[in-house]
Chain A
Amino acid sequence: MSVVTVRGLVRKYDGRFAVDHLDLDVELGECLAMLGPNGAGKTTTVEILEGFRRRDAGDVTVLGVDPAAGDKKWRQRIGIVLQDASDLGEAKVEEALRHFSHFYDNPRSVQEAAELVGLVEQLHQKIGTLSGGQRRRLDVALGVIGRPELLFLDEPTTGFDPEARHVFWGLIERLKSEGVTILLTTHYLEEADALANRVVVIARGRKVADTTPEELGGRDSDLVTVKWLEGGSSRAELTSSPTNVVAALSAQFGGEVPGLEVVRMSLEQAYLSLLERQDDQ
């Protein structure tokens, strides 16, 4: 069952296509990552789905409702985590969570929301004094306080250090296990790899790939790279039978192969070569 359906979505700015006839589906319970370079149309698309931005053409439904006509009842069912909010600085975590929980028919308790995002110890701290990672976790807590069926996460970990990013991913995993459908936009390929069931790549407002992280850009093909050191320089061979190559090398070196690596194409390499192919067109 589709939670989000987009057909032929168009949005132009000053006559230029920001979103160019985009089709998109988000299925119930999945985490879909939308990838793409800056200016590809990700945020515009997400803001149209969130009901914040108008569209020039196309059919869009989110939880069965056209977001352009989405009312407050519809907003009970969706959660939005803002990209770079800096509001509420003077409020305490507890106050903000309690205040926003009042807007929903069936909210989580303040305690539950704080536990979910790991901010129990910060409940009585002013939001303006939270660290960057804590601040974004609070944004998530505010996004999920109403128990949404669908959660929008627009570049949630931009500017995080690696540790904060991993803590954040754990939080998203927890939400996924609760069955929340998630639409995630991100710049980080590892993030999509870690969290998403499916990735959609957008370039210049158009969809250029719609697949699983494992299959993106032919990443699942049999070809892998075997690397080793020989005579002081590094060597590499692209092969579909790495085991045979390694065995042959082992025989050649009489046991251990110096500097041996067997590497499958990373999601990032697959993504970049996909975008390069787009640019060539």
Chain B
Amino acid sequence: MKYLSLCVDRSRFEIRIILRDRNAVVFMMLLPIFLLVIFGSVFASNKIGTTNVSFSQYIVAGLLASGILYSSFQQFAIAIPEERVTGSLKRLAGSPMPTSIYFVGKFAVAMFIYTFQAIFLLGIGHFAYHVALPVSASLWVTFIWVSLLGLVASSLLGIAFSSIPKNGNSAGALTTPIVLFFQFTSGVYFIYTNLPKWMQDVAALFPLKWMAQAMRGVFLPREFASAEVARSYEFPKAALVMAAWALIGGLLCSRTFRWLDKG
């Protein structure tokens, strides 16, 4: 009971703090929404290939997958090294707070940011750019498990990655290109099937490609699956890849996470 109330308290504290950080709000929470407005405005009437699917519909799926990466991986890979430098982590490690509470709080932040982004992406997409929302309950269920599994995997990877940068400044310089690289190679901004084969092969080893593909499975028509490389949205395979990366991330975290600059 005490543990649960600590989870809630920590989560609320973390979310309240992040909402006061103007940079975090503007550059991380609102970024996918800006991108939607830009892409939606530029390519408003574009259709994909000979299909009836608008580019806005495609980009919303990609930006939702990106939102998972922004709200967890990028967020943690930049914020946690900073917390190590400011003494925030040392203070927590020196307190009787159960260490797991820290990670619960972080996950709550990722969930909060992602939920915020998803609501605005879908809302603005639907009302401003005629993005069709899933009609069946089963697609919404798919949307939720893809989101959750994606968040778990990229949270764990982000926390693991946070042990690499030496400080908050180098963290941003190190993380942003990685996130951009995967966005460009995983079919977020470009149509995945149009990418060179080697690029597809590299991206297919990492989770963003699978998150984006599963999101397309939710937001694009079923017939559009034939345009995918495997002629299917491959939900089971996507789930497996995300779960595998969650496992790898979890193992890396448990071995490499540092509360102090050095021990």
Contact = CB atoms under 8 A, between A and B. Distances in A.
B86 interface: yes
B140 interface: no
Nearest to A80: B94
B230 interface: no
B263 A52 contact: yes
A102 B20 CA distance: 22
Nearest to B84: A87
Given A102-B6, A103-B6, A95 B87 contact: no
Interface string B139-151: 0000000000000
A146 B16 contact: no
B177 interface: no
B13 A52 contact: no
B126 interface: no
Contact of B13 (A54, A91, A126): A91
B90 A82 contact: yes
Contacts of A78: 94
Contact of A95 (B10, B13, B93): B13
Nearest to B97: A103
Contacts of B9: 99, 102
A104 interface: yes
A96 B17 CA distance: 10
Nearest to A77: B96
A54 B6 contact: no
A78 B17 CA distance: 27
B96 A87 contact: no
Interface in B4-33: 5-6, 9-10, 13, 16-17, 20-21
A87 B88 contact: yes
Given A87-B86, A90-B21, A50 B94 contact: yes
A49 to B, nearest CB: 11
Nearest to A128: B20
A53 interface: yes
Interface string A82-95: 10111111110001
Contacts of A73: 96
B98 interface: yes
B183 to A, nearest CB: 29
B95 A103 contact: yes
B20 A142 contact: no
A27 to B, nearest CB: 23
A78 B93 CA distance: 12
Contacts of A86: 86-87
From B21, B93, B259, residue with most partner A Cβ within 10 Å: B93
Interface in B200-228: none
A85 B87 contact: yes
A76 interface: yes
Contacts of A16: none
Contacts of B95: 75, 100, 103, 146
Given A52-B260, A88-B88, A90-B17, 8 more contacts: A72-B96, A80-B94, A85-B86, A85-B91, A86-B86, A87-B88, A90-B21, A126-B20
20 contacts: A51-B94, A52-B90, A52-B93, A52-B260, A53-B260, A53-B263, A72-B96, A75-B96, A78-B94, A82-B90, A85-B88, A86-B86, A86-B87, A91-B16, A99-B10, A99-B13, A100-B95, A126-B20, A142-B91, A146-B95
A-B CB proximity, top 5 nearest? A85-B87, A87-B88, A87-B86, A80-B94, A75-B96
